[in-house]
Structure 1
Amino acid sequence: MAEIGQIARKVRSKNAGPFWLTIDIFCGDRAAYDRIRLGLATEAVARAFHMPHDMIKRFEIADLNVVKFSLPRPSVQGTRADRDMHGAAWAVLVEEMDIP
């Protein structure tokens, strides 16, 4: 088992508008891409964010060795309940996930 952050070159999260977040996993090479693509289930990401897995969109971009997830923000950007205005802190939840 290894953390995604130890395998990937970079894990980044950001806003995808005021209602969505995007988490990008830049794998660096094909071996890391395949390991993360096959080892990281969308359901595991859903559990980490406490939401139904059908709310998460998954994109696998083989030409760039990137796995990407888009999901609804827990609160609208900029509202009083928003704890991360830019959406940058969410990447850590994925970065620390273990995969085989």
Structure 2
Amino acid sequence: MPETRTIADLALEVRSKNAGPFWVTMELFMRDAAGYTIVADPGYLNATVIAGLYGVEPDTVQIFRIPALDVVKISFPRPVPQGSLRDRDIHAGQHHVPLALFPLPGPVT
């Protein structure tokens, strides 16, 4: 049985960070144009997918595709304001993990 490949397998780096006290931004730095083409496809990675991974409303998700840099940037509201009583990741440094582990579509070579 083939091993499941993820976004992390095609990325140079997947990271998340604060975008102010109310937003999280994630960035997918792809190794090459081929990987970028896969993750930038709106049929694969879109607001509905991000909403499912992070429990946010799809209409609050912003996705920026930057082909000249092979980068996809995603922003959405933080689940709780930064530094609030229920904030478990004040720098949003671990939010990228579900996205990095998201399976790639079909067989990828």
Runs of 4+ with deviation above 2 angstroms: none
Verify the 8 A CA contact 2:15 2:93 in the aligned structure 1: yes
Structure with greater helix percent: 1
In 2, Cα distance between the equivalents of 1:86 and 1:19? 11
Structure 2 unaligned blocks of 5 or more: none
Equivalent residue for 2:40? Answer: 37
Aligned to 1:80: 85
Tell me if 1:99 matches 2:104: yes
* Count of residue pairs the alignment pairs up: 100
Task: Return the alpha-carbon distance in structure 2 between the equivalents of residues 8 and 92 of structure 1.
Answer: 13
Partner of 2:55: 50
Which amino acid is 1:18 matched to? P
TM-score w.r.t. length of structure 2: 0.87
Q: Give the 3-state SS of the residue equivalent to 1:2 in structure 2.
A: coil
Residue 28 (str. 1) matches residue 31 (str. 2): yes
Across the aligned residues of Structure 1 and Structure 2, the Cα RMSD in angstroms comes to: 1.0
Higher Rg of the two aligned structures: 2
1:90 alignment partner, SS class: coil
Match of 1:7 in 2: 10
Cα offsets for 1:22-45 (capped at 9, x unmatched):
000000211110011113232111
